[in-house]
Amino acid sequence: MRVRLPADGWEPRPYQLPAWRYLEKGGRHAELIFHRRSGKDEICLHWTAIAAFVRVASYIYMLPEQSQARKAIWTAINPHTGKKRIDEAFPRDLRKRTVDNEMLIEFINGSTWQVCGSDNFDSLVGGAWAGIVYSEWPLSNPNARAYLRPIIAENKGWQIFNGTPRGRNHALTTLQAARKDPTAFAQVLDATQTGIFSKEALAAELSAYVAEFGEEYGTAKFEQEYLCSFDAANLGSILGRQVAIAEKQGRISDSIEYDERGAPLELSMDIGRRDTTVAWFWQPTVGGYHIVDYDAGWGLDAEEWAMRLARRIGARPLGRIWLPHDARAKTFAAKRSAVEVFIDVFGADKIAITPRSSIADRINAARVLLPRVAFNESACANGLDGLRAWSYAYDDEKKTFGAEPLHDWASHDGDSFSYGCLIMQQAAPPPKPTEPMRGFTAGPQ
């Protein structure tokens, strides 16, 4: 039986045609910042169906979280047709098998398509992917892209990033990069441009958001989701406002560099679940602190991290590496604790444990100290995205933000940074460096 793709007579909407034509011509990097209810996922699903039959390979559809991926894509039903979204895009006549527990489809030509979450991207180890859709990219873990991009490049595959803004984070970074790349496609479409909503309908949506979430949060959420504003307040952000102030004051710049005559480096670290690790490199200065480097990754054991940091530190003098208090346990699922391993590499006098503290105390320390902190922009770019995105969890029932941060990809950056703030707040400032004596030459020439 022959089946036409796109299936069920689906066609791109007029405003989706430029992106569709770009992909048809072999485009490999598309950024689709479209407003809510504009059909972002429909164009991506139908394009993937075609790609899977043009080239026999494996394809991924990634949402921020695994559980969200199941609800939003795998089991979701199109309210307009009453059909499952995956059945509309991938007709059953084209499938060899459908594996529900893995959210995987194998097609009759040998291609596969799998739905997953960016919170579980390490489960994709060993894949040879030829196409990836990052759906709701502004809310996803950017480490997933860092891990998968070399695979896509090696396989000469394609990537599509879609979503609506959530502040000035990694989604803005990839959008701006695409705008500068003549081979990429970047498009931002708000609800005033697509013709889906009338002015009256948009006004009603705004009123509904304000009624549900309150004036400030409702307006910001509307501006993000319908007007595609990266500048709308990312309410619930723990340090976003302070980071924005630092940027305006010039405290985020490549001019912030390591001072060879300055104080030794101090490293604050967080070791998260599945061995996700973050390290900030602090150099105390007169009146404040410079963060001159940043490192993050996952899947490495304590020995590998210790050697990686030793190489990163290089010849620069080291004060101490501050490990989280739970590093005394065998956090990396190894025979020895992280503390034992780091002591072997750096020496006992170079390893310390961050004092136990409440999250509220650490957040307060970060807010107090951040006005005296400057960052190297390039070295800390990914970490700064994390600080901008680090947010309190929102309670849908109470319509308020809770007292605890949301545990997502950004929480590792926030935890590691706030550990550092707690430590630096208690440390004595370094002495002011003395200028070398210039002297002079006397006597006959």
- CA dihedral 299→303→305→307, nearest 10 degrees, is -140
CA distances from 332 to 20, 298, 335 (A): 45, 10, 9
Chain segment 253-295, per-residue pLDDT in tens: 999 999 999 999 999 999 865 567 999 999 999 889 999 999 9
**29 pairs with which residues across the strands?**
159
Q: What is the pLDDT of residue 428?
A: 54
CATH class of domain segment(s) 241-426 = alpha beta
Q: What is the pLDDT of residue 104?
A: 97
Residue with tokens 């307009």: 80
CA distances from 6 to 37, 87, 183, 233, 341 (A): 20, 12, 25, 38, 55
Chain segment 130-174, per-residue pLDDT in tens: 999 999 999 999 989 988 999 999 999 999 999 999 988 999 999
Where in the chain do CATH 3.30.420.280 domains reside? 241-426
Tell me how far the alpha carbon of residue 311 is from its chain's centroid: 25
Buried b (16+ CB within 10 A) or exposed e, 99-132: eeeebbbbbeeebbbbbbbbbbbeebeebebbbb
Q: What is the pLDDT of residue 403?
A: 87
Report which of 365, 389, 318 is spatially closest to residue 136, judged by C-alpha positions: 389
Where in the chain do CATH 3.40.50.300 domains reside? 7-189
Separation CA 110–CA 76 (nearest Å): 25
pTM: 0.85
Residues of the chain with pLDDT under 70: 1, 125, 272-275, 328-335, 427-445
Task: Write out the two tokens for 277.
Answer: 């690790």
Report which of 115, 111, 114 is spatially closest to residue 52, judged by C-alpha positions: 111
- Domain 7-189 sits in CATH at 3.40.50.300
Task: Write out the two tokens for 56.
Answer: 């026999």
Are the beta carbons of 183 and 191 closer than 8 angstroms?
no
Task: Write out the two tokens for 416.
Answer: 């590691």
Ranges of beta strands (E only) in 148-287 are 158-163, 185-189, 265-271, 277-285
Are the beta carbons of 355 and 422 closer than 8 angstroms?
yes
- CA dihedral 46→51→53→55, nearest 10 degrees, is -170
Phi/psi region, residue 241 (left: phi>0; alpha: psi -120 to 50; beta: rest), is alpha
Q: What is the pLDDT of residue 351?
A: 96
* DSSP 8-class letter at 286: T
Q: What is the pLDDT of residue 78?
A: 87
Q: What is the pLDDT of residue 4?
A: 85
Burial of 373: CB neighbours in 10 Å, binned 0-12, 13-18, 19+: buried
Separation CA 370–CA 376 (nearest Å): 14
Q: What is the pLDDT of residue 443?
A: 52
**321 pairs with which residues across the strands?**
267, 351
CA end-to-end distance (rounded Å), the chain: 100
